[in-house]
Structure 1
Amino acid sequence: MENIAKKSNTEFILNTFNLKPSKKYGQNFLVDPGIIQSIADHASLDKETAVIEIGPGIGALTEQLSNKAGKVLCFEIDERLKEVLSFSLEGHDNVEIIFQDFMKADLEEACNKLKDYKDICVVTNLPYYITSKIITKIVSSSTPINRLVAMVQKEVALKLCSEEKSPLKMMIDYVGDVQYELNVPRHVFMPAPHVDSAVISIHKERVISQELIDLIEASYTAKRKTLYNNLKSLYHDQTKEVLESCGIPANKRAEELNIDDYIRILERSHKL
């Protein structure tokens, strides 16, 4: 089917397959072809690009990605959509759908399937309930994925693009940068969610080590505790010495540090 995101076409698919959006999986179908097109455009795709899409739904975004990219590899958790996607994406031979929870998927294995393409990115409309976990999995991976274009809850987009600190924000600051691309109002969905959405893009320029991830996450273990107390689980009796060697007061909290501070802590800890 062409132009799946057109409201009448989405309604036709839902009615034909007697499909009701799943609250469990946070399904809200985007019914604005212009926004679908804009999301695909922000990904800068060509036929040498392979795309990973998480949660294709009924295939509205997948259709546009397929038209622009060389390959689209989708992960869909809702097995009710097998027949639906076979119908809606008929003729899109460059689309492969894996019915699996993306959080349980082996990302390196997925990228290995796409190794013949010079460029691998993720383009997706993310379910609100698992947004941070999915972005963290992608940002922290050592795969060739070099960018992520994602529709997320507007509040999340604003936080990630602000100066507000969080473990995920620190990881993004290390690997590259994040940009706020466009607003997506709630009324362009079926059914309409209770909040507005936004599209962000994250560009990855380098890989973050597991050791640095562990350091960042440990520092945020308990937000009310000092850095010294949170990092004792990593550095034990050497915690104070590590912080002092970096010129960081032991009573500071995680949100007072920037990514350069974490890099310095990690480097100094190796020398003790």
Structure 2
Amino acid sequence: MIWFHTPNKVVEIMRRHNISPDRAFGQNFLIDETAMRSIISATKIENSDTVLEIGPGLGVLTKNLAAQAKGVTAIEADSRLLPALEETIKGAKNVEVILKDALKFDLNNLPPYSCFVSNLPYNVANPILRRVLSSGKFKMAVILIQSEVADRLLAKPGTKTYGALTIFCRYYARIRKVRDVSPGCFFPKPKVRSTILRFDMHEGITPDPDLFMLVRQSFKHRRKTLMGNLIKAGYARTTLTKALQGSKTNKLSRAEELSLAEFQALYEALNS
């Protein structure tokens, strides 16, 4: 049984606690039962699993996760929401709430979790996503995110939306689309559509900042060739020519034409 707030209930709770959605926190509360059911179903969590949630808001998703998981840790930045959040999760003894800005919170201070779940605020989605994926703390994640960002993560090489963020995320996880979520599923309604994504983390992956630097440098000017961007970044032409040949990369290629595996091959050739 999925438990959720109707729009009228959300308004009543916020009025009672004298709070309103704050644009500074990118707050759009999920109020749709079907969307919430899709998130819960995509996690496939069991009663032995532990979950970390960032941005619990009014606590509706938190309460539903707690009903199925061993424990839920919820990190909330907005202290105004705490009374409403505590009211919603009342009786759920397996929920720990941490009042902290997730961007300033060191995930290394937390134990490993089975799953990460979040209705990510649009204004901080990118940096939080990067921190979560690179932390090595999770086996999988289910994230509700702005569709424009989701399209970038799902993009294929050779397309306009394919970029450095695509490669960064695929380095850490296999990503699949669960479903789109319309603006009417939130209160207040955002101006854009959202998408639920599931991330299955690759095992044994550690951050490779030098590879990521190469990727960012390669995408700095999308209209330039890969070779042009990397020469501008400081690589010697002779070194690049040899590495491109060694990795079987066309010297006229642009960054958006290379897959993660091809970037890894080029990186290895540059450092051999």
TM exceeds 0.5?
yes
- Corresponding residue number in structure 1 for 2:219: 220
- Corresponding residue number in structure 1 for 2:151: 158
Distance 1:105 1:230 in 2: 35
Task: For residue 132 of structure 1, report the CA deviation from its aligned partner.
Answer: 2.2
Distance 2:229 2:32 in 1: 46
Contact kept, 8 Å, 1:7 with 1:32, in 2: the verdict is no
- Corresponding residue number in structure 2 for 1:198: 195
Matches of residues 4-43 of structure 1 in structure 2 within 5 Å?
4-43=4-43
Contact kept, 8 Å, 2:244 with 2:266, in 1: the verdict is yes
Matches of residues 248-259 of structure 1 in structure 2 within 5 Å?
248-259=249-260
Matches of residues 8-157 of structure 1 in structure 2 within 5 Å?
8-110=8-110, 112=111, 115=112, 120-141=114-135, 143-157=136-150
Distance 1:251 1:104, change over 3 A: farther
After superposition, what is the alpha-carbon deviation per residue over 1:1-46, rounded to whole angstroms, capped at 9, x for unaligned? x934233332221111011100111111111223212211110111
Larger displacement relative to structure 2 (92-101 or 62-71): 92-101
- Corresponding residue number in structure 1 for 2:174: 177
Structure 2: 5+ residue runs without aligned partners?
Answer: none
Larger displacement relative to structure 2 (26-35 or 209-218): 209-218
After superposition, what is the alpha-carbon deviation per residue over 1:158-178, rounded to whole angstroms, capped at 9, x for unaligned? 332231421121123333321
TM-score, with normalisation over the residues of structure 1? 0.88
- Corresponding residue number in structure 2 for 1:240: 241
Distance 1:8 1:247 in 2: 60
Larger displacement relative to structure 2 (173-182 or 47-56): 173-182
> Partner amino acid for 1:264?
A
Distance 1:91 1:8 in 2: 23
How many residues align? The count is: 263
> Partner amino acid for 1:54?
I
- The sequence identity of aligned pairs, in percent, is 29
After superposition, what is the alpha-carbon deviation per residue over 1:199-238, rounded to whole angstroms, capped at 9, x for unaligned? 1111112325233222222222222332223334364563
The alignment partner of 1:103 has SS state of coil
Contact kept, 8 Å, 2:4 with 2:32, in 1: the verdict is no
The alignment partner of 1:146 has SS state of strand
Distance 2:151 2:102 in 1: 25
Contact kept, 8 Å, 2:155 with 2:166, in 1: the verdict is no
Contact kept, 8 Å, 2:46 with 2:68, in 1: the verdict is yes
The alignment partner of 2:220 has SS state of coil
Larger displacement relative to structure 2 (4-13 or 39-48): 4-13
Larger displacement relative to structure 2 (241-250 or 229-238): 229-238
Distance 2:253 2:34 in 1: 47
The alignment partner of 1:132 has SS state of helix
Contact kept, 8 Å, 1:171 with 1:213, in 2: the verdict is yes
> Partner amino acid for 2:128?
I
Alignment RMSD, CA only? 2.1
The alignment partner of 2:150 has SS state of helix
Runs of 4+ deviating beyond 6 Å = none
Task: For residue 100 of structure 1, report the CA deviation from its aligned partner.
Answer: 1.8
Distance 1:146 1:210 in 2: 21
